[in-house]
Structure 1
Amino acid sequence: MFVDESKAGPYLLVASVVLPADLGAARGAVRALHLPKQSRIHMKTETDGRRRTILSAFERAGLRATIYRAVGYKTNIAAREACIDKLVRPLAFEPTARVTFECDESQDARDRQQLFRLVRELRCTERVQYEHRLAAAEPLLAVPDAIGWAYARGGDFRSRAMPLVTKIVDV
């Protein structure tokens, strides 16, 4: 599972699941979209034409995501914590799960504390693993970034993102 956030509008935590057998092909599909000398895809810095191309390519590659939408929280910190809780709890019942969050130095330590508490509480420390990685080091972090950006942007971009959204979970 690859996770990124969007803070534009209601807080969104976006999680894209890729099965282990599909990781190579999925990473290849994302890397094929990199421009020369581009270390990562980041929707905030792409042109509208590239954004459309990226979303269409992700759809063709079968890349999808779940959006955890937090409304009514006083801070993004509280919203993120609620979304992470909602995302992780079902994983306790899976045989194994690995969650990769995009690095953000302002929140990584807080995430690790929450995740440590959650996996202990849920008694799944051996089955649920988590990490924070830079988007330049993990191409699949571009998937939740793109879907979250497009959904938050609204209009035509949200319409283009909706085929990539498996569900929206209100938190």
Structure 2
Amino acid sequence: MHVFVDESKAGPYLLIASVVLPADLGAARSAIRSLHLPKQSRIHMKTETDARRRTILSAFAKAGLRVTIYHAVGYKTNIAAREACIDTLVRPLAFEPTARVTLECDETQDARDRQQLYRLVRELGCTERVQYEHRLASAEPLLAVPDAIGWAYARGGDFRKRAMPLVTKVVNI
């Protein structure tokens, strides 16, 4: 399984993860790329118009793309919240035959993530089964899924209502 991860810091800290099975990767990437406008290297909800945001969410629903949202409550910093969310995300993956976690690059936290993930996969005894990497959203189209759905969920109102059918579950941490 492949897990694509992004965050939302607008309001309470959210870590959003979308699971795509290996057999579905090509079709899912094609569905995302088909939404790119000319000269657009990635989909980023922050810069899209409301009409495009609705179109993107509808296309994700039609493509069967879903996310789990990890909602961190009561942490003093986003760093602590992110660490708790990553821990909660990765622990069940240790029991999967294989898992590849792709997090959106953020140079302010990538090194910290790598240290945590290195420790975690060793502690869980899954170094051969769970791999992880950071990628730019422009290099991995499927990072648009947690970005878009997380943005809509965090935004609230009509956008959250549109996002909810795409949310498998919300995990409060």
Q: With the length of structure 2 as denominator, give the TM-score of the two structures.
A: 0.99
Are residues 1:59 and 2:66 paired? no
Secondary structure of residue in 1 paired with 2:71: strand
Paired residue type of 2:165: P
String of CA shifts for 1:90-139, please: whole Å, max 9, x gaps: 00000100000000000000000000000000000000000000000000
Paired residue type of 1:147: I
Computed over aligned residues only, the root mean square deviation of the Cα atoms, in angstroms, reads 0.3
Are residues 1:44 and 2:46 paired? yes
Aligned to 2:161: 159
String of CA shifts for 1:48-105, please: whole Å, max 9, x gaps: 0000000000000000000000011000000000000000000000010000000000
Are residues 1:26 and 2:28 paired? yes
Secondary structure of residue in 2 paired with 1:74: coil
Aligned to 1:142: 144
Q: Matches of 2:24 and 2:92 in 1, distance apart?
A: 22
Are residues 1:120 and 2:122 paired? yes
Secondary structure of residue in 2 paired with 1:125: coil
Q: CA deviation at 1:39?
A: 0.1
Aligned to 2:12: 10
In the alignment, structure 2 segments of 5+ residues that lack a partner are none
Secondary structure of residue in 2 paired with 1:17: strand
Q: Matches of 2:155 and 2:168 in 1, distance apart?
A: 18
Paired residue type of 1:93: F
Q: CA deviation at 1:11?
A: 0.3
Paired residue type of 1:163: P
String of CA shifts for 1:17-62, please: whole Å, max 9, x gaps: 0000000000000000000000000000000000000000000000
Q: Matches of 2:80 and 2:108 in 1, distance apart?
A: 14
Which of 83, 86, 101 is the aligned partner of 1:84?
Answer: 86
Secondary structure of residue in 1 paired with 2:168: strand
Aligned to 1:74: 76
Paired residue type of 1:120: R
Paired residue type of 1:22: D
Q: Matches of 2:162 and 2:128 in 1, distance apart?
A: 38
Paired residue type of 2:139: A
Q: Matches of 2:73 and 2:58 in 1, distance apart?
A: 28
The aligned length equals 171
Q: Matches of 1:65 and 1:151 in 2, distance apart?
A: 11
